[in-house]
Amino acid sequence: MKTSCKVLIPILVIQLLIVLCVSQSFDFFYFVQQWPGSYCDTKRSCCYPTTGKPAADFGIHGLWPNYDDGTYPSNCDSNAQFDASKISDLISSLQANWPTLNCPSSDGLRFWSHEWEKHGTCSESVLDQHGYFQAALNLKKQANLLQALQTAGMKPNGGFYSVDKIVEAIKEGTGFTPGIECNVDTSKNHQLYQVYLCVDTSGSNFIECPVAPRSRCGSRIEFPTFGSQDQQYMEL
């Protein structure tokens, strides 16, 4: 019996260390916010959450662990399933700041579950489930993208703006250089879709990005509206 225990214990320890090392292995976070007007203004269209139309503001897409070489870990712990009861005190804030626009309409739980299980589980050594979502909410409060752009005279009214000026405005407003991701609308215009800011491994502090996200933007891109014309999507 003693001999078998000596064999089994190292195996269990090694398995535990493998899981732990996977969950600890990342270099920084991408904190990603998306503009709802761009999400909806594509052939895919969008559906408003069952809780109602989101505000005309950037919404959180995710907080994603990444490596300095441009790759990223994913789905790091199959045992850490999303549990809505662990974030019950954050639900109203998540509905306002991290809304789902995917179809069919939903309450957001599936979206948050996906983000936690794919990305959040790879930062478990730093943030548990509640800490992960709280960190993202805290970061959004620190980085008011819409205010930064409007202060620079760039409003979501369908106008076109220089990507360099958008980057400059967000850097002026947040103190850090953003990565800009664009999508293409039904008229084949490039649109301001997502903004990436980088965060240290604590999930608390913005940093300059070790590696910039991929961008497919033209030199001038549209900042589309998110208004009454989108009501057609609400009941889809």
168 vs 110: CA distance, rounded Å: 35
Quick one: which of 118, 124, 120, 137 has its CA closest to 75? 118
> Which one from 117, 119, 181, 222 is the annotated catalytic residue?
119
Is-contact 170 148, C-beta < 8 A? Answer: yes
CA 56 to chain centre: 17
Catalytic residue at 115? yes
Alpha helices in the chain (DSSP H): 2-24, 36-40, 91-97, 109-118, 129-142, 145-151, 163-174
Cα-based angle 209, 210, 211 (whole degrees, multiple of 5): 85
> Which one from 61, 117, 190, 222 is the annotated catalytic residue?
61
Catalytic residue at 114? no
133 vs 122: CA distance, rounded Å: 13
Cβ neighbors of 45 (< 8 A, separation 6 or more) are 103, 233, 236
Six token digits for residue 51: 């809780």
Catalytic residue at 119? yes
CA 55 to chain centre: 17
Q: Which residues are catalytic?
A: 61, 115, 119
